[in-house]
Structure 1
Amino acid sequence: MGKVIAICTSAVRGVQKTPVQQAEFRVDWGIVNDAHAGHWHRQVSLLSADKIAAFREKGADVAPGAFGENLVVEGFDFRALPVGTLLRCGTVLLEITQIGKECHNHCEIYKAMGDCIMPREGVFARVLEGGTIAVGDEMVLVPRTAPRPWQAAVITLSDRSARGEREDKSGPAVAARLRENGCEVVEQLLLADDAAALKKQLVRLCDQRQLDLVLTTGGTGFGPRDVTPEATLAVADRQAPGIAEAIRAASLVITKNAMLSRAVSVIRGKTLIINLPGSPRACMESMDVFLDTIPHAMALLRGGQPDA
């Protein structure tokens, strides 16, 4: 059980937030009149009170809202809670959607202290049930009554599509197929064939969003700009080669060109990453191979009991 120590809001982004005594939380929006509210996954930000206290002991003069956080709560180590955790505070129900964040431009706290706790200790949530939260209210963890849907992201790698010269048909087709099979596709990205950009997004999706599945399409051939397998292997904790091998084996029945695929399948944290070919048709044929099998794999990665 935790206790709300401070509630903070701001009218614009990129500034420190100001403490208020209470705030209204709106479903699938966030805090009314807060700049970070909206139809996205980072509607509400939370920080543990003890993390702020430990930072103050280093000599930092920080007040509630200094890190841009909405809620300061004692009694929880938010960083240790997985994505999907449910938090109840009165009538308000929050679901944690992201752990930590990337710091694009160092804030004034970092410039003064050489450190900032928000990028590694802050968590983000969306509002599932609305209401009002006031300073002093209790917050509790709520067990799920049903498993959370599988969450996935789709990344298209294509220089031409990224430049707007060609429509990306593969990414939307892959996302639609996942939704048809019960997955919640939380992000669709279109990137140029750039290893650094792909590695950055894979790390974010696996570590911060803690997704179950990431599918990439494109960049798996012999071309000099085809770097998807190398970027994928660079972020892997473990390899899962059987999936890529099964796709190649099935594809060889259709075309001998399948032997030229360099696609890989790996695991980072609790996320399964699978490379797919670039064409929509080849993507669908590849997904035919593994869609019925990977729920078992994703259940194992979540740490729960796999389906029989």
Structure 2
Amino acid sequence: MGKIIAVCTSETRGVQKQSRKEALLEKDWGIRGDAHAGHWHRQVSLLSAEEVAAFNAKGADVRSGAFGENLVVEGIDFRSLPVGTLLRCGDVLLELTQIGKECHHHCAIYEKMGDCIMPREGVFARVLAGGQISAGDEMTVEPRTAPLPYQAAVVTLSDRCASGEREDKSGPLVAARLAAAGFVVVEQLVRPDERELLERSLIRLCDQRQLDLILTTGGTGFAPRDITPEATRAVAERDAPGIAEAIRAASMRITPRAMLSRAAAVIRGKTLIINLPGSPRACMEGMDVFLDQLPHALDLLRGMPQDCGR
């Protein structure tokens, strides 16, 4: 059980938030009047009061809201909780959607201290049920009554699609197929064939959003800028070669050019990453190979007991 120490808001982004006595949280929006509210996954930001106190002990001397956080809560180690955790505060129900964040530019706190805790300790949530909250209110972790639906992202790799020269047809098709299979597709990205950019995107989706599955499309061939397999392997913690091998084997029955595919399948944390080809038809043929096997694979990654016998 935790206790809300401070409720903070700001009308504009990129500035420190101000403490309020209370705030109204609106379903699928966030805190009324706060600049970060909206129809997205980072509606409310939270920090553990213990982390703020430890940082201040180093001489930071920051007040509540200085990191841009909405809620400072005592007694809950947010960083240890997985995405999908439910937090109850009276009528308000929050669902954690992201752990940590990317720091695109150094804030005044970092300039002073050479460090900032928000990128690694801050967490983000969306509002499932709204209501009024105030400093001093209790917050508890509420058990889920049903497993979190499988969450996925689709990343299209194409210089021409990223520049707007060509329409991305493969990404939306892959996302629609996943949605029809019961997945919640939380992000669809289009990126140029840049290895460092893809690596950063994969790391964020795996570590911060803690997705079950990431499917990439494009960049798996012999062309000089086909870097998807290299970026995928660079972020991997474990290999999952059977999936890529099965796709190539099935594709060889369709076209001998399947032998030119360098696609990879890997695991980072609890996330499975699979490379698909660039063409819409080839993406669907590849998904035909593994889609019905994903629930078993993803449940294993989630640590759910499974009977692997035939």
What TM-score do you get using the length of structure 2 for normalisation?
0.98
* Equivalent residues of 1:265, 1:274 under 8 A apart: yes
- Residues 131 and 307 from structure 1, CA distance in 2 versus in 1: closer, same or farther, beyond 3 angstroms? farther
* Residue matched to 2:60: 60
C-alpha separation in 2, matches of 1:28 and 1:18: 22
C-alpha separation in 2, matches of 1:147 and 1:138: 25
C-alpha separation in 2, matches of 1:180 and 1:100: 30
Q: CA offset at residue 305 of structure 1? A: 2.5
Report the 3-state secondary structure (helix = DSSP H, G, I; strand = E; otherwise coil) of the residue aligned with 2:219: coil
Residues 1:261 and 2:258 are matched in the alignment: no
Structure 1: state its 5+ residue gaps. Answer: none
* Residue matched to 1:164: 164
C-alpha separation in 1, matches of 2:183 and 2:23: 33
* Residue matched to 1:51: 51
* Residue matched to 2:92: 92
C-alpha separation in 1, matches of 2:6 and 2:77: 16
C-alpha separation in 1, matches of 2:303 and 2:25: 32
| Matched residue type, 2:219 | G
Residues 1:108 and 2:142 are matched in the alignment: no
Report the 3-state secondary structure (helix = DSSP H, G, I; strand = E; otherwise coil) of the residue aligned with 1:34: coil
C-alpha separation in 2, matches of 1:15 and 1:95: 25
Q: CA offset at residue 162 of structure 1? A: 1.0
* Residue matched to 1:139: 139
* Residue matched to 1:228: 228
C-alpha separation in 2, matches of 1:7 and 1:307: 46
What TM-score do you get using the length of structure 1 for normalisation?
0.99
Q: CA offset at residue 307 of structure 1? A: 7.3
| Matched residue type, 1:206 | C
C-alpha separation in 2, matches of 1:148 and 1:52: 30
| Residues 249-288 of structure 1 aligned to structure 2 (within 5 Å) | 249-288=249-288
| Matched residue type, 2:155 | I
| Matched residue type, 1:163 | S
Residues 1:15 and 2:15 are matched in the alignment: yes
| Matched residue type, 1:282 | A
Report the 3-state secondary structure (helix = DSSP H, G, I; strand = E; otherwise coil) of the residue aligned with 2:292: coil
State the Cα deviation string for residues 3-24 of structure 1 (Å, max 9, x = none). Answer: 0000000000000000001100
C-alpha separation in 2, matches of 1:211 and 1:222: 29
Residues 1:5 and 2:5 are matched in the alignment: yes
Q: CA offset at residue 174 of structure 1? A: 0.2
* Residue matched to 2:296: 296
* Residue matched to 2:218: 218
C-alpha separation in 2, matches of 1:286 and 1:259: 14
State the Cα deviation string for residues 28-67 of structure 1 (Å, max 9, x = none). Answer: 0000000000000000000000000000100111000000
* Equivalent residues of 1:8, 1:65 under 8 A apart: yes
| Matched residue type, 1:244 | A
* Equivalent residues of 1:26, 1:131 under 8 A apart: yes
List structure 1 runs of 4+ shifted beyond 2 angstroms: 305-308
Report the 3-state secondary structure (helix = DSSP H, G, I; strand = E; otherwise coil) of the residue aligned with 1:292: helix
* Equivalent residues of 1:24, 1:132 under 8 A apart: yes
In percent, how many aligned pairs have the same letter?
Answer: 74
* Residue matched to 1:28: 28
* Equivalent residues of 1:296, 1:307 under 8 A apart: no
Report the 3-state secondary structure (helix = DSSP H, G, I; strand = E; otherwise coil) of the residue aligned with 1:51: helix
C-alpha separation in 2, matches of 1:306 and 1:227: 35
State the Cα deviation string for residues 128-175 of structure 1 (Å, max 9, x = none). Answer: 000011110000011111111100000000111111111110000000
Q: CA offset at residue 303 of structure 1? A: 1.3
Matched length: 308
Structure 2: state its 5+ residue gaps. Answer: none
Residues 1:125 and 2:125 are matched in the alignment: yes
Q: CA offset at residue 211 of structure 1? A: 0.2
Q: CA offset at residue 183 of structure 1? A: 0.2
C-alpha separation in 2, matches of 1:224 and 1:57: 51
Report the 3-state secondary structure (helix = DSSP H, G, I; strand = E; otherwise coil) of the residue aligned with 1:72: strand
| Matched residue type, 1:117 | I
- Residues 186 and 307 from structure 1, CA distance in 2 versus in 1: closer, same or farther, beyond 3 angstroms? farther
Q: CA offset at residue 294 of structure 1? A: 1.2
